[in-house]
Every structure is written in structure tokens, then in C-alpha cells.
Structure 1
Amino acid sequence: MKSVNSNFKVGSKVIFEGEPYLIESSEFIKPGKGQAFVRVKFRRLLTGQLLDKTFKATDSSLELADVIEINLIYLYNDGYFWYFMNEKNFEQFLVEKKILMNQLKWLIEQNSYLTTLWNNKIISIIPNNFIKLKVIETEQFKKGDIFGSGEKIAVLENKIKIKVPLFISIGDFIKVDTRSSLYISRIKK
């Protein structure tokens, strides 16, 4: 069993209460009176939830979590599972919909995604900050209709609706920020 000593190193991935957590901050406190302690801020890797916990400085160590991050290619889904592949060794992984949550809208077949594995099972998918998508539907404006903000709604190939500038047309490729779902720029063909 590998373990982290009682200094609770920031960035370590550990098992706490049977689940993987990331130590985001750790503060050793030695009060004037009483026993020293460590205040730790954890991020639960399965949900992203934050947890604050205080440990005695003499507490035993935590077990290191078998957590790795690798790039996997998204292949397809069958409605029940989403399939990914490691392009180095062609090993395939499947993921249930509930694990993907808000990332589903950014999954594009044959794109690579940073993936977190725990005990060789996918626990999270992180899309690239920016993604290239095709506009499949948008409002048409005639000359003289321009007013207000100069934006219109466009439907992208992943069925997401976002605001785009008036000059964007059906068939254009655009760069979208996956963190904010905002239009960044048009991509020239």
C-alpha cells in the first residue's frame, strides 16, 4: 500500500472514505497550546465537490489513489454507453451517461479528450478549452435588418445553440469556448 505522509502534499490524489480525492490545499497549524493539526481542502474526483477536513498532525497517512490522466479518442455511443479508445494500444473503455454529465454536448466523434481513470475506469472527461464546430442552422438577415447587438442564434453540429455575429452562415466552422459556451472566432476553410 502506497501512502502519503501526514504533510498531505498538495496535488496528491488519495483515497478518502473509499473514493479518490485531489488535495488542493494543505495548511499545517501549530497552536500555542494543544496539539498541531493539518487543515486540508480536498476535491472529490467523482463529482468535483470540495471538502474541508482537519486531521491531527499525528494521524496516519492516506492511501494514494490509482488515478491517471490520459488522452482517449471518443469513438461512438449506443445510447447506453459512450466508447473511448487509447490510440497507443487500442484499448477501449466504456462510460455510462451519468459519468459524462455536462460533457456530453462537447463529445465529437474522433476527437481526443483528457480522461481521468481510477482503477482503470473512466471517472471524468475534460473537453479541450476550444473546439471547432460546424454551423448547421442560423437565422438569415437581409441588408438593413441589422440592429441591437449584432448577434444571432446559430445551431451547431452538436445541437447546441449559441450567439454568433451576423456574418456567420450555414456551413461555416467556428471556434467555441467549451467552458463558457461562447463563440470565439470563425475558422477559415
Structure 2
Amino acid sequence: MAGMVEAIHVKRKTMFEFEGSPYACLDSDISTPTARGGQTLVRLKMRNLLTGAVFEKTFKAQDKFNEPDLELVPATYLYSDPVGSYFLNQESFETLTLTGNMLADAMDYLIDGTALQVRLYNGEPIGLQLPIFVELDVAHTEPAVRGDTSSGATKMARLETGLEIKVPLFIKEGEKVKVSTELKEFAGRA
């Protein structure tokens, strides 16, 4: 049986099960009472991993949660069609299908052959864990204007997936750039 975790020990990025669904903690705040006999409360900002819904809820410090049956498997992005997006499980070589609501904005970073991890809950795919950085080609950007060289100057660039980010003026069309999937921003030349 999976272990139990107390609410007071739930920290950022902790996974836990609440009301039969898996959740990821986005933030936790512990309120210790000043009066004697008061209860310590834990306010959790949490994301439902099945629906993507985010909300806050307060628990008593001693409330317990089950650890969810979550597993990350290495996979490669294959292609998408109107039914969903398809990934090749690198361990079992079976094809995993995820629908649009399971992907959220992950499609902004996926090109054929992108290596990532698929999150399974009770053996079924429920979402992705993207790499921290992905390398994408710049599909379109305006040429830098001579004399426009103030420090830190940026311009908009559209990448091969359609994602638009700010890049430094020296980046040209056709170059490969490194993009942070957490911050959705330029992280350097590839």
C-alpha cells in the first residue's frame, strides 16, 4: 500500500491524493496559532493532475493524504491529429495517447522526436513532464535595426511550434534557441 503524508509535510511539488484524485502542491503556508490550544493549519495551493484545476484549501496539520500511484515513463513525441497526441513509451514501446486537455500548453514546445516523460496515474496517461529546456528553430523574427542596441533590447520571435517569445536583437530567422518550459522565455542560443 502507498504511504501516507501529513498535511504539515506537504511542500511545493509534493504529489498527494485527495478525494480520489492526484494533486500537485504549488505552494504551502503553515499558520501556527498564537493562543494556547489553537490548531496549526496548513493552506495548500494545489493542482488537480486530472483536470488541471487549481485551488486553495486549508487542512489541519495532522490531516493525512495517500501517496498517489504516479509514475513517470520516458517517452518520445510522435505526432498529433484531431483525436489526440501520440507518444512512444521508451520502455514498453507502446503508443500512449493524450488528449488536448491533458497537454495544456505543452504543444508549444513539442516537435517530432522530443524526449520527455509521460505521467501515468494507475497505469493510465494523464499528462506530461516537459524537459526544463527545449531547443526550437526561430521561424520568424524582424531584423535588428541598426543603432537599436540599448542593453537588454529584445524583439518578438515566432518559433517553429507557433510559440512567440522575446529574444535578443542578435537572434535571426533559422537559428536554434533554447527555451525554458517553466518560464516560457528565451534561455540562450542552442
Could you say what secondary structure the match of 1:98 adopts?
A: helix
Matches of 1:145 and 1:160, distance apart in 2: 26
Alignment-derived partner of residue 167 in structure 1: 170
What is the aligned partner in structure 1 of residue 58 from structure 2?
53
**Against the structure 1 CA distance between its residues 91 and 8, is the aligned structure 2 distance closer, same or farther, given a 3 Å change threshold?**
farther
Specify every segment of 5 or more residues in structure 1 that has no aligned partner in the other structure, as ranges: none
Q: Does the C-alpha gap of structure 1 residues 40 and 70 become closer, same or farther in structure 2, counting only changes over 3 Å?
A: farther
CA distance, structure 1, for counterparts of residue 138 and residue 84 of structure 2 = 27
Shift of residue 88, structure 1, vs aligned partner? 2.0
User: In terms of mean alpha carbon deviation, does 85-94 or 38-47 score higher?
Assistant: 38-47
Q: 2:188 and 2:24 mapped to 1: Cα distance?
A: 35
The letter of the residue matching 1:17 is E
Identity %: 27
Q: Quick check: 2:7–2:61 contact (8 Å CA) kept in 1?
A: no
SS in structure 1 at match of 2:104: helix
Counterpart of 2:18 in structure 1: which amino acid?
Answer: F
Determine if the alignment matches structure 1 residue 113 to structure 2 residue 116. yes
What are the residue-to-residue correspondences of 1:172-187 with 2, within 5 Å? 172-187=175-190
2:16 is matched with 14
Q: Give the number of equivalent residue pairs.
A: 182
Choose which of 69, 78, 83 in structure 1 pairs with 2:72: 69
Structure 1 pair 126–6 and aligned structure 2 pair: CA distance change class (3 A): closer
Mapped pair 1:124 → 2:127: yes
Q: Is the 8 A contact 1:10 1:26 kept in 2?
A: no
Deviation digits for residues 48-85 of structure 1, max 9, x if unmatched? Answer: 6243332485x7x5443211223221111112211112
Residue identity opposite 2:10 in structure 1? V
TM-score (norm. length: structure 2): 0.74
2:31–2:42 Cα contact (<8 Å) kept: yes
Counterpart position of 2:84: 81
Amino acid of the structure 2 residue aligned with 1:145: R
Aligned to 2:97: 94
**Which residue of structure 1 aligns with residue 4 of structure 2?**
4
Give the direction of change, closer, same or farther, for the CA distance of 1:8–1:67 in structure 2 (3 Å limit).
Answer: farther
Shift of 1:90: 0.5
Report the TM-score, using the length of structure 1 for normalisation: 0.75
Partner of 2:148: 147
Report the AA paired with residue 135 of structure 2. Answer: K
Q: Which residue type is aligned with residue 147 of structure 1?
A: D
